[in-house]
Structure 1
Amino acid sequence: MPRTALVVVDMLNPFQHQDAEQLQRSVEPVVPRLAELIGRARHRDDVDLIYVNDNYGDFTATRDDLVARALKGARPDLVEPVAPPADCAFLPKVRHSAFYGTSLEYVLRQRDVRTVLLTGQVTEQCILYSALDAYIRDFSIMVPPDCVAAIHDDLGRAALRMMERNMSAAIVPSRECLAQRSLPARSHAR
């Protein structure tokens, strides 16, 4: 049976970078909804939970190191509710896309995942580029707008429109994301 993967992108953020304050404001309302979605996914046999997080240039950093760094950062309250459980896949990344330089595609194929449910930050950067990479790898894509955070609201909205129009992504509220087992095969027609 085809599976869905809930991919949580870059939520282990210490918020010690340019635009951090602006991003924090966008992340605040996302955290409770994302935590709830993660909780629902963990109770489903047909959903894989996968975290992909920037290693911030530290190629020796482990999952525990990245969690600890984020929890010691400026906003641990935005990290703790969505910190990765010990029993889920965790992949460090070095660039914007969750696929670039990671084993994400391999993991998804090994688990017979057909639908990638993208969540996290930043909508107009890492989420957009990850959606494009999922699309060109022929995965169906879902993005809940209430579980992604943008630095610039207008660019975040534009990125969601691009994902929907150009990548056939289903842009659906988080409460509807796991209502069906998987999206039907995507249409290449525009």
Structure 2
Amino acid sequence: MNKALLVIDYSYDFVAPDGKLTAGEPAMGIEGNIAGRIDSAVRDGEFVFFMMDLHFENDIYHPEYKLFPPHNIDGTPGRELYGEVLKKYEAVKSQENVFFLDKTRYSAFSGTRLHQLLQERGVDTVVLTGVVTDICIMHTAVDAYNLGYDIIVPESCVASFNPEAHTESLKHFQNSLGAVIEP
């Protein structure tokens, strides 16, 4: 098994109490767990991909424009990694096995080089962490499944602003995508 850790959308706007589209307490509650996963992955020589939502001010053509308030706007503090995860990224960002990729859709695979980079490195398993379980984690998981990756979702490393949807998403990952749900 050749694994890659994906840290998805763990930004100020999605996590901080005053973030523009925050998952709040649940998202803040997973901060230490994600930081620990980053430490383990880097120590074990696994690939780590920080996948960050990117939007532009007043982009009326983006499909999320009518669904959500403006968030993760290019050049704003809201788009920065949050808390301990930012500190971990700063400590490891120059390593060859660490990547930071922008994404403009829910899925970390849609319109990015992620799949190509994973294939080139022989990755067959993705570990999904971050926010929001029932949106960006869900769409990334479905794309990973359709691209043939094995999927691991540590329950302690994903969060949502919708507790019911979070729980249902974890069931979907396991029952429909064959994902391994870890504590």
TM bin, normalised by shorter chain, reads: 0.7 to 0.9
Report the counterpart of residue 176 of structure 1 in structure 2: none
Unaligned runs of 5+ in 1: 60-64, 73-77, 174-190
CA contact (8 A) 1:57 1:94 kept: no
* CA distance, structure 2, for counterparts of residue 157 and residue 137 of structure 1: 24
Taking structure 2 as the reference length, the TM-score comes to 0.79
Code of the residue aligned with 1:17 in structure 2: it is K
Shift of 1:66: 6.5
Report the counterpart of residue 17 of structure 1 in structure 2: 20
* CA distance, structure 1, for counterparts of residue 99 and residue 76 of structure 2: 17
CA contact (8 A) 1:122 1:148 kept: yes
* CA distance, structure 2, for counterparts of residue 101 and residue 9 of structure 1: 15
Code of the residue aligned with 2:52 in structure 1: it is N
User: Structure 2 vs 1, CA of residues 67 and 97 (structure 1 numbering), >3 Å: closer, same or farther?
Assistant: same
User: Structure 2 vs 1, CA of residues 17 and 68 (structure 1 numbering), >3 Å: closer, same or farther?
Assistant: closer
Taking structure 1 as the reference length, the TM-score comes to 0.77
Report the counterpart of residue 49 of structure 1 in structure 2: 48
* CA distance, structure 1, for counterparts of residue 2 and residue 76 of structure 2: 31
> Aligned pair 1:169/2:170, yes or no?
no
Unaligned runs of 5+ in 2: 60-72
Runs of 4+ in 1 over 3 A off after TM superposition: 65-68
Q: Percent identity?
A: 30
Q: Aligned ranges for residues 69-84 of structure 1 at < 5 Å? A: 69-70=77-78, 79-83=82-86, 84=89
CA contact (8 A) 1:26 1:150 kept: yes
SS at match of 2:52: strand
